């Protein structure tokens, strides 16, 4: 029985690391709707956990979602979330609420 349970959980564990390593998610620092204008100046900078924390504070977002190269993401809209897209060199290409 244990073997069967472990065999069922193994594929889920394999998915956990899909997409490679990205910057760590900083803890939420604000609660409310996200604002796009304050984060426009972060585009072109290198994605780091510290920069993510600064972007969260500037945007007023409650959560941060990193999107690296070839990362699949849901299309649901959340007004309290900041989505930051970065490339292979960890350079931020866009930052938007939603």
Indicate the pTM of the whole model: 0.67
pLDDT of residue 6: 47
pLDDT of residue 32: 61
pLDDT of residue 68: 94
Low-confidence ranges of the chain (pLDDT < 70): 1-22, 25-32
- Could you say which DSSP state residue 84 is in? E
Tokens of 92: 């931020």
pLDDT of residue 9: 45
pLDDT of residue 1: 53
Residue partners of 28: CB distance under 8 A and separation at least 6: 56, 61, 62, 63, 64
pLDDT of residue 88: 96
């Amino acid at each position: 029985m244990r073997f069967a349970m472990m065999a069922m959980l193994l594929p889920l564990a394999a998915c956990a690391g899909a997409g490679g390593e990205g910057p760590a998610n900083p803890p939420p620092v604000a609660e409310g709707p996200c604002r796009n204008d304050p984060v426009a100046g972060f585009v072109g900078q290198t994605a780091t956990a510290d920069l993510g924390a600064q972007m969260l504070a500037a945007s007023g977002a409650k959560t941060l979602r990193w999107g690296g190269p070839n990362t699949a993401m849901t299309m649901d809209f959340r007004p309290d979330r900041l989505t930051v897209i970065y490339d292979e060199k960890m350079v931020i290409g866009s930052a938007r609420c939603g």
